[in-house]
Amino acid sequence: MVAYRTADGEEGGALAYRTAGGEEGGVVSFVEKKWSADWMWKVSGALLLLVALCLAALFFTWHFTGRLDVMNQASRTQAQSSSATTDPHGTLIQIGSGAKAAIHLEGSDDGDGGGLQLQWRKDQGQAFDQGGFRLSNNSIVVPQTGLYFVYSQASFRVSCGTGSAPTPLSHRVWRYSDSVGSRASLMSAVRSACQSQAPDAFRDGRGWYTAVYLGAVFQLQRGDRLWTETSPLAQLETDEGKTFFGVFAL
C-alpha cells in the first residue's frame, strides 16, 4: 500500500493486488475524507432547532395547562356564586360549618313566642352550633370577642283579600352588651305585603309570599347576646328552613 495526499490536501492511498492466476493486478486508490466546517455547522444548527422545538412544546403545554386551571377555577367560582344566589340558606350553612365558631338556628312556631319574639331551635332541620356558641333564653351568646357575620331571614305568607290594605312585615336583630349596659338594634328591615307591584315576592294558591333577609359584619364582645324581633308572627313561614338565624366568626 502506498500512501499519498491529493491536491486538496486529503489523505489517500493505493492498494496493489494479484489475480487468482498470480498475475499482478491494478492499483486501487482510496481517499479518506474529513468532515468540512460547513457540515459541522449544519449538524449543530439542526440540533439547536430540535432543542428549540422541544422547549416550545413544553412552554405550550405549561401555558395551556395553566389556562385550563384558571378556567376550571373560574367555573367553580361561578357555580358557587350561582348557588349563593339561588340558595342562600344552604350556602350560609356551608360557610358557617367551616368556621372556627358558628351557630345556625331554625325558626319554630311552637309555643307562644313571648309577644314579638320568634322561637329559635338548634335541634331541627339544618341547625347546628360549634366553637362555643350557645342558645340561651332564645338568644345567641357570643363566645369570644372578635369579628362576626350575623344573618337572619324571616319568611312570610299573607292572605290578601280584595281591597286589603298593605300589611307591614318587619324583622330586626337586637344586641345586648355588658360593656354598653343596654340593648341596641344591629339591623332591621320592613316590607309591605298585599301590594299590586311588590319586589321579590310572588303569589300562589296559598297567598302572597316574601322573605325579609338581614346580614352584616359586626365587632362583638364576649358574652354579647343576640336575638330577633319579628312581626306579625301569625304570618310567618317556618317550614323547610325558610326562617333562620345564625352567626359565624371571621
- The answer on 223 and 101 residing in a single domain is yes
In whole angstroms, give the CA distance from residue 219 to residue 152: 17
Asked if the structure places residue 199 within a domain, the reply is: yes
| pLDDT (tens digit per residue) in 25-83 | 555 454 444 546 677 777 777 788 787 787 777 766 666 565 555 555 655 555 454 44
Whether 84 has a pLDDT exceeding 70, the answer reads: no
- The answer on 196 and 119 residing in a single domain is yes
The whole-number pLDDT of residue 193 equals 78
- Cell numbers at 199, concatenated: 319586589
The whole-number pLDDT of residue 85 equals 46
The whole-number pLDDT of residue 28 equals 47
- The answer on 212 and 144 residing in a single domain is yes
Residues in contact with 204: Cβ distance below 8 Å, sequence separation at least 6, in sequence order: none
Domain count, the chain: 2
Q: What domain range is 8 assigned to? A: 2-32
Q: Which residue has the cell 324583622?
A: 171
Per the CB < 8 A criterion, the answer to whether 195 and 126 are in contact is: no
Residues linked to residue 24 through DSSP beta bridges, in sequence order: 18
Asked if the structure places residue 129 within a domain, the reply is: yes
CATH number at residue 237: 2.60.120.40
- The answer on 116 and 214 residing in a single domain is yes
- The answer on 225 and 113 residing in a single domain is yes
The whole-number pLDDT of residue 130 equals 92
Per the CB < 8 A criterion, the answer to whether 248 and 166 are in contact is: no
Per the CB < 8 A criterion, the answer to whether 175 and 225 are in contact is: yes
Say if strands 146-158 and 244-249 run parallel, antiparallel, or are unpaired.
antiparallel
- The answer on 198 and 93 residing in a single domain is yes
Q: What is the 3-state secondary structure (H, E, C) of the chain?
A: CEEEECCCCCEEEEEEEECCCCCEEEEEEEEECCCCHHHHHHHHHHHHHHHHHHHHHHHHHHHHHHHHHHHHHHHHHHHHHHHHHHCHHHHHHHHHHCCCCEEEEEEECCCCCCCCCCEEECCCCCCEEECCCEEECCEEECCCCEEEEEEEEEEEEECCCCCCCCEEEEEEEEEEECCCCEEEEEEEEEEEECCCCCCCEEEECCEEEEEEEEEEEEEECCCCEEEEEEECHHHEECCCCCCEEEEEEC
CA angle centred on 5, ends 4 and 11, rounded to 5°: 95
Asked if the structure places residue 222 within a domain, the reply is: yes
Query: pLDDT confidence of 194, banded at 50, 70, 90?
Result: confident
In whole angstroms, give the CA distance from residue 236 to residue 75: 37
- The answer on 94 and 17 residing in a single domain is no
The whole-number pLDDT of residue 139 equals 96
